[in-house]
Amino acid sequence: MIEIQFWWLAILPIFFGAGWLAARVDIKHVIAESHSLPIAYFKAVNHLLAGEMNKAIDIYIEIAKNHSETIELQVTLGHLFRRRGELERAIRMHQKILSRRDLSESQRQQSQLDLAIDFIKSGLFDRAEKILHDLSNTDSARLARVELLAIYQQEHEWQKAIATAELLRDESNSFQHEIAQFYCELASESLIRNQNEKAINELNLALKEHRHSARARLMLGEIALSEARPDDAIEHWLKMPAQDIHYLALAARHLIAAFHSKNQLADGIALLIRYVQQYPELDVVDLIYEQLLATAGIDAAYDFVRERLREHPSMPGLKKLLDAHLLVAPADQKSELEVIGKLLHDNTRSYSMYYCSECGFKTRQFFWHCPGCNQWETYAPVRGKSRSVV
């Protein structure tokens, strides 16, 4: 027993010394790291928060010279290059990451996704599509399909877009609106080729996917009117309010034409007047004013816009009332009214635009697919309003 205690006493200083030496090494390592990588990282982050991306990238590149083995740093640089628009450098960085042998499977898949996105933003869709298909049987399959769906929409490959969207269906997103829009796009292409029957079948598939598709109803009505079937056209258009009454404004001019072809123009005008009395934001006041002016005269048109302004005051309504005044005003008053009209026009210009609720892109033409953010059905069919108001 005494002998064992003696050996412990002999070995104890050795253990203590080794522990002290290891601690010194670890402390020196931590101090070295804290004086190089973390501080530089924080400086770069501060630049990013200040919107100084170029300065941040310069720091990360400098760090990379001494820490080239850090995959997280390479990933960060790849993303920053892409955000700055340096797509060739982003592609090279992500290719460099993929050449590493120490990647985990999740890191490899993420790097493949990143490289595919680089190719998409560079317009190299074929290269991106190949990478994304390679990920179809991995844990990143859903993310890959989301990117594939974006490619097919940009390339107008609507059949592929439909098939991909169907694979993406889940409890949180049925993709019924998007798929219905894809069928409508196919129908538009069929109509350009004068294939009306094919277009009708595609629009019926859109309605099967989304039974309240306003666009499908609008197009079916237009086809029916072109084929001299005004009753069928009117029936289609009067079903549009099932989704949103305001979509009727997109069909209003065609609706009037259909009633006119039946020698029932007055009935069509009266129908629109009833709708706008019930739904004041329905964007058909200009059309009704135009039709009343042509068929019933200035007094009827003036009375209509005056009543609408009283019941639903608005700047566009005031402008329309002023237009009616100008038609009957004495010559000595017209110059003053024209000045007022110009001021109203300049200050109500925004009311004649359609606005995307996602990105704010504004346009005088209604779009089902926003040119700014590439989202579907983000425009309200009411000029001067965002999608959220309807």
Query: Which amino acids are annotated as binding site for Fe cation, given as ranges?
Result: 356, 359, 370, 373
Q: What is the dihedral of CA 346, 347, 348, 351, to 10 degrees?
A: 110
CA-wise closest residue to 159 among 170, 148, 147:
148
Cα angle 150, 153, 158 (rounded to 5 degrees) comes to 130
User: How far is the C-alpha of 261 from the C-alpha of 9, rounded, in Å?
Assistant: 112
Cα torsion 178, 179, 182, 188: sign = negative
* Secondary element (H or E) of residue 6: helix 2-35
Residues with Cβ within 8 Å of residue 182, at least 6 apart in sequence = 158, 161, 162, 165
User: How is residue 95 written in tokens?
Assistant: 């290719």
**Binding positions:** 356, 359, 370, 373
Helix axes 125-134, 105-121, angle to 10 degrees: 160
User: How far is the C-alpha of 68 from the C-alpha of 65, rounded, in Å?
Assistant: 6
The one-character DSSP state at 385 is: -
User: How is residue 166 written in tokens?
Assistant: 């169907």
Q: Three-state SS string across 160-186, please?
A: HHHHHHHHHCECCECCHHHHHHHHHHH
User: How far is the C-alpha of 119 from the C-alpha of 153, rounded, in Å?
Assistant: 16
Are 219 and 187 a contacting pair, CB within 8 Å?
yes
The one-character DSSP state at 284 is: -
